[in-house]
Chain A
Amino acid sequence: MTGPGVRTGDVLPELRIPVTRTLVVAGAIATRDFQDVHHDPDAARAKGSPDVFLNILTTGGLVGRYLAGHFGPSAVLRSLRVRLGAPAHPGDELVFTGNVTAVRGTEATVEVLGTLRQGRHVTGTAVVEVGGG
């Protein structure tokens, strides 16, 4: 799917990621985010959340994983913008969908949506250098 094969309107295959407590905590620590709401359920509840939830850096990283998985190792991420909606808690399932909205030379603009059963968790826009082939 890399190279000149990428076209405006291309739809990326769906990726389903179960949001486990392990993913929430491991993601927070791997991104060096030690805010208690991302690893301590009691602290999360005291601040009005039902449980721990994904930190924004993990969400951004998962969008990156979705793009890397689709466009392959030769693609280079040029920019990534993510906007958060509903928080993702353990027990949720995050479903990524995406489509190519523009291709300019070797750069593709990709819109990514990460949804949970209760609504939109993340909307993302990425520019990916897909190589000249």
Chain B
Amino acid sequence: MTTEDDLYERLATYEGRPAAVAGEGGDPVNAPMIRHWCEALGHPVPADGTAPAPMLQVWTMRGLSTHPGTAGGGSRAGAYDELLALLDGAGCTAVVATDCEQEYLRPLRPGERITFDAVIESVSPRKTTRLGSGHFVTTRMDVRADGELAGRHRFRILKYAPARAPGERPRRPRPVVNRDNAGYWEGVERHELLIQRCSSCGTLRLPWLPGCNTCGSDAWDTLPACGRGTVFSRVVVHHPPFPAFAPPYAVALVELAEGVRLLGGVVGVPYDKVRIGMPVALEFRHADGEPAVPVFRAEV
């Protein structure tokens, strides 16, 4: 906690310091870049030859700066690079843009030379997001065309430590085992899927419950599933992503031959080829020393 507070104290000292001083656009405003931008985005080309307003920041971009001396706009002030390096050093190595606010005072015309100054407006305390935990950095830029203020621009990035270190395998959620379903999970661990059966009326139930919904009896024994089933219903998960699962993937509600239904992943077939009524066979999967789980293999 203390180290985090210390870090934030250091980060906060960058507020108000310059992010770019007397920056210069690599190219003057020009018709080819305007046309290429319009072409890429499907935007109409302005008939009066001016640049579409949302291009404001484009004229200030550093470009492919891996070739020294060829990129434009390379006037980043030391304070901004220092701030980013400090965040890199604290493990916040990844970056994503989150917000952009632009104000357009007048159109930009071909031939105009772009200059800009930017200031580090704020650095947020540590925040935890879906991507990971890190700091939001907001910069504000004044863009001038031939020396005249033409637009303002506020840009926010999140510098963060990815929630998962590269190469580290995220763990799958573990089953919730309690005294009412312990026997079920013990069966799964031995690769046996046990269906509960009411000793009084014979009704089958899955998932396991303490009593029978049909007659109310709490006496039961078990019946091992034969392993045949058909897809009763299915969904494809695209979002939100869970760290251990790579979307998109299919999750099916499978009706077992015995008549009870069970949720599970479907393997052996692409996610978009899982169909209602498709026959499936029960299998058990052990993911790297984690508890076994039932899955269903599509029967082709």
Residues of A within 8 A of B (CB): 17, 23, 26-27, 29-34, 46-48, 50, 55-58, 60-65, 68-69, 73, 76-84, 86, 117-119
Contacts and interface: CB of A to CB of B under 8 A. Distances in A.
A38 to B, nearest CB: 11
A29 B94 CA distance: 21
Contact of A48 (B44, B162, B238): B162
Classify chain B's interface size. Answer: 35 or more
Contacts of A81: 99-102
B246 interface: yes
Given A47-B162, A56-B100, A81-B102, A34 B63 contact: yes
Interface stretch (B51-59, B110-118, B138-146): B51-59
Nearest to B156: A83
A65 B238 CA distance: 27
Residue in A30, A46, A63 with the greatest tally of chain B CB atoms within 10 Å:
A30
A32 B70 CA distance: 13
A30 B40 contact: yes
B104 A65 contact: no
A84 B99 contact: yes
6 contacts: A29-B40, A30-B58, A33-B61, A55-B97, A82-B100, A84-B98
Nearest to A80: B102
B54 A64 contact: yes
Contacts of A58: 40-41
Contacts of A82: 99-101
A42 to B, nearest CB: 13
B41 A62 contact: yes
A74 B39 CA distance: 20
Contacts of B40: 23, 26-27, 29-30, 58
Contacts of A80: 53-54, 100-102, 104
Contact of B52 (A29, A32, A61, A117): A61
Contact of A118 (B37, B162, B239): B239
B36 interface: yes
A39 to B, nearest CB: 11
A36 to B, nearest CB: 11
B46 interface: yes
A64 B43 contact: yes
B97 A31 contact: no
A82 B97 CA distance: 11
B43 to A, nearest CB: 4
B101 A79 contact: yes
Interface in B84-138: 94, 96-104, 107, 131
Contacts of A73: 44, 46-47
A32 B41 contact: no
Contacts of B55: 31, 61
Nearest to A129: B104
B92 to A, nearest CB: 13
Interface string B57-89: 110011111000000000000000000000000
B147 interface: no
Contacts of A79: 101-104
Contact of A64 (B47, B53, B97): B53
Contacts of A46: 166
A118 B241 CA distance: 10
Contacts of B94: 47-48
B42 A83 contact: no
Contacts of B99: 81-84
A27 B36 CA distance: 9
Contact of B97 (A56, A76, A86): A56
A33 B33 CA distance: 13
Residue in A29, A48, A118 with the greatest tally of chain B CB atoms within 10 Å:
A48
Nearest to B35: A30
B164 interface: yes
Contacts of B98: 56, 83-84
